[in-house]
Amino acid sequence: MAKVLNRKTILVTGGAGFIGSNFIRHELESYDDVVIVNLDKLTYAGNLENLKDIEKKYGLASLNLKPKTQDLRPDLRYFFVKGDICDRNLADSLLSGKYFKDKEVGQGTHDARLMTPDSIVNFAAESHVDRSILDAVPFIDTNIKGTQVLLEAARIHWQDLGSGTRDMVPNVFLHISTDEVYGSLGKTGEFTETSPLLPNSPYSASKAAADLLCRSYYKAYNLPIILTRSSNNYGPYQFPEKLIPLMIKNALERKELPVYGEGLNVRDWLYVEDNCRAIDLVLRKGNIGEIYNIGGENEIENIKVVKLICKILGEKAAGDSRLDELIKFINDPRGKAHDFRYALDCSKIKKDLGWKPVSKFEEGLRETIDWYLSNRNWVKKVVTGEYQEYYKKIYT
Ligand code: NAD
Ligand code: DAU
């Protein structure tokens, strides 16, 4: 039986990370009938700083405050829950609505039913390839076991609701996956959604395992699953361990710019806002049981990315036209696990849902650099002692 609600309540996991926080902002700013419950463990990669404006505009400072019913405004549409996706009790409590009833939030304008998620968008993951090579354990725990916990909780709480066709299914479990599950390409070719899964790092192996679990829950239980697999995202709020923000940060600090190997590996860069639009479209209109590739149509070698960052920063802020002298080619810490090239055939999402990426790489990179220049305090705040330890392990 379909629930009749005039609001859409989405459980976003990993919403305090890079793509998740951009997605939450996108949803709340685009629709006034969306309620977001953000479940995040706040690992080193998750920062409430990423959502400070959102918390202020749409959220309670903290659910622990037990707000009075009369304080609950209809524009209160963002709720943060600190927790682990591996915690089955918490997942059950959120999906049954018990969590909000117990917190005494679900009253008045905020009927607890309205805060019981009808969809899940699962971003939560350990997401950095280099870290997975240092220690695979957290990747197995969060990316595989955590996904299975969410799938199982959804299966139990949504069991009466699915009937197969999109119009009849109020619930969607949208799992966010990656092009890395397909493995590596040579200089030519593109992956389609039916390409074999050939992951090469513990990170991508854990993501591929989660994808297969999702598939099995769709086949075995008719759980309304959809998957997206996107290429490399870039944009505001990306943690400075990934190539683009790391190079911006180091260049601004006049530190070495460490390029793995000869810098000839190719990535297809997708502006995060383009990805958020695609995820939103898939959530609302995607076909149940399907996988959608999402690429940026911006393939470029790493060394060219780094040189472009140096050029733009030189023009904009650093007042230094020789930033590229900071480039240092280092032994590749990924070894054979370093995928040479990714490229996605995105004809399915274009044809079925009418999506296409709009950001050109240099434009998006300029916007990203502007954001990092205006948010230097954000970088200072998110980089902790743990980051310094990690940096030493990889780069010295
Ligand atoms: P991120 O590392 O920036 O953020 C991950 C978030 O998940 C953090 O907020 C972290 O605190 C949270 N988290 C980690 N373990 C958790 C747990 N056990 N329970 C609850 N929360 C937990 O990652 P991102 O770059 O935003 O990537 C988001 C998703 O998109 C991931 O699933 C990743 O595999 C996928 N993806 C990323 C890219 C990319 O280029 N960044 C591309 C394709 C797919
Ligand atoms: O393709 C999608 C994937 O993109 C996501 O699934 C991952 O979560 C995300 O982290 C990203 O993975 P990559 O490994 O491609 O991204 P990263 O920014 O870490 O590296 C991009 C390229 O730059 C890669 O070829 C390695 C190289 N590199 C990276 C760093 C951090 C360097 O040369 N030097 C560096 O210091």
As averages over each run of 10 residues, the pLDDT of the chain (396 residues) reads 57 98 97 94 96 90 52 75 97 92 60 80 98 98 98 89 54 96 98 98 98 97 96 98 98 96 98 98 95 98 98 85 94 97 98 98 98 96 90 92
Query: What is the reported pLDDT for 104?
Result: 64
Among 44, 123, 237, say which to mutate for ligand 1: greatest number of ligand atoms within 8 Å of CB: 123
Tokens, residue 246: 């790391």
Instruction: Tell me which residue of 280, 282, 278, 170 sits closest to 226, measured CA to CA.
Output: 282
In angstroms, the CA 327 to CA 238 distance is 21
Instruction: Please report, to the nearest 10 degrees, the dihedral formed by the alpha carbons of residues 233, 124, 281, 51 taken in order.
Output: -80
Ligand in nearest proximity to the CA of 91 = 1
In angstroms, the CA 145 to CA 153 distance is 12
CA 70 – ligand 1 centroid, Å: 36
CA 23 – ligand 1 centroid, Å: 12
Ligand 2 near 139 CB (within 6 A): no
Q: Are 209 and 144 in contact (CB under 8 A)?
A: yes
Is residue 389 part of the annotated active site? The answer reads no
Q: Are 200 and 336 in contact (CB under 8 A)?
A: yes
Q: Are 56 and 62 in contact (CB under 8 A)?
A: no
| CA 239 from centroid of its chain's CA atoms | 12
Instruction: Please report, to the nearest 10 degrees, the dihedral formed by the alpha carbons of residues 175, 176, 180, 182 taken in order.
Output: 40
CA 124 – ligand 1 centroid, Å: 5
Ligand 2 near 117 CB (within 6 A): no
Tell me which residue has its CA closest to atom 41 in ligand 1: 233
Query: What is the reported pLDDT for 68?
Result: 56
Is residue 179 part of the annotated active site? The answer reads yes
* Angle between helix 302-313 and 361-374 (nearest 10): 50
Tell me which residue has its CA closest to atom 3 in ligand 2: 232
Determine which one of 203, 217, 260, 292 is catalytic: 203
Burial classification of residue 232, based on how many CB atoms lie within 10 Å of its CB (0-12 exposed, 13-18 middle, 19 or more buried): buried
Is residue 297 part of the annotated active site? The answer reads no
Tell me which residue has its CA closest to atom 42 in ligand 1: 232
Tokens, residue 271: 């502006």
Ligand 2 near 93 CB (within 6 A): no
Q: Fill in the amino acid letter for 77.
A: R
In angstroms, the CA 368 to CA 248 distance is 9
Ligand 1 near 127 CB (within 6 A): yes
In angstroms, the CA 160 to CA 170 distance is 11
Ligand 1 near 17 CB (within 6 A): yes
Ligand 2 near 229 CB (within 6 A): no
Backbone angles phi, psi at 20, to 5 degrees: -60, -45
Query: What is the reported pLDDT for 100?
Result: 83
